[in-house]
Structure 1
Amino acid sequence: MSITITLRDVERHGSIRAAIIATCNEHDLYASGDLGGPTFATSGPGLGWSRQFDAMDYAGRALSDEYGAAGYIDAADGRMATLCDEGEIEWTDQSVVSLDDVTSAEILDADRDTLRNVQDAIDSQVVRPGNGWDDLDAIIEAMEDGEPRA
């Protein structure tokens, strides 16, 4: 199981994290982001009680019943949680988020902040790059050095 995001998704949503969450929201199979809203995030014994929920809490909520998502993707690192046969949550070792193939023209048309965001996500292995991303470092460096766009 995996999802694919595009450079356009990253541009439209402003970050890799937001693109992952938006892509998951478009599908019935996967969930991502902070699930449950304010009542889940602040429920507890008495007034003023709160807890700092994390990806494990949100994954448990997303996968909690037979009508829930098939997988929960942590937008911070791209790993997916699923329920094993015993009902325990299991996480993938690596990201399940792929960047769609891209052309040099698409990269050259993107803004520098978006490209830096994508580069950081590739370097930290939040996403797995498709074809065409090999020259991203060189293209960003050329843009920063003020070389004209080809």
Structure 2
Amino acid sequence: MDDALAPKRLAAGVVPRPQPRELRARLQQLRERADAIMNLTYRDFANTPHVPPFVWVGDGCSVAAGYVPCSGLFCPGCVGHGFGCRSFGVKYGLRLGGARVTKSWIDGRFRGEMGRICGGRYNYRLSHLACLSAAQVYCGAVQFGGDSAFF
């Protein structure tokens, strides 16, 4: 836009479009905010203010709910994973990074948080191992069956 005409266009209600460089900078800032949120523990994630433009709605462990043991226990981990898929994936949401490496990172964060949930809940070795085994089922499900919710 010509600098001499800019005041007249703004007065007439014509808003200049952001330039590609500005859009890339905004996208990078948004990606950095989403990365920071995804790197929170499930407890900190649960206390994070739900600010736009991120998609915060979720159904927890949607596929497994009611069918697999521990669906209630693992719900905080599932909510964080869902946030990642909706914010980074190409099927829904913001599309901040729809590559395979990004989905693998989100799935890895999910695996880590599932282990954290088990570690925070069970002190006895056998109970802890049983929890980790159940967590592996969830992790396998999102790793091998979750592509349709991301790509």
Flag whether TM exceeds 0.5 (same fold).
no
> Higher helix share goes to which structure?
2
Give the TM-score of the pair, scaled to structure 1. 0.25
With CA pairs under 8 Å and 6+ residues apart, which has the higher RCO, 1 or 2? 1
Larger radius of gyration: 2
> Higher strand share goes to which structure?
1
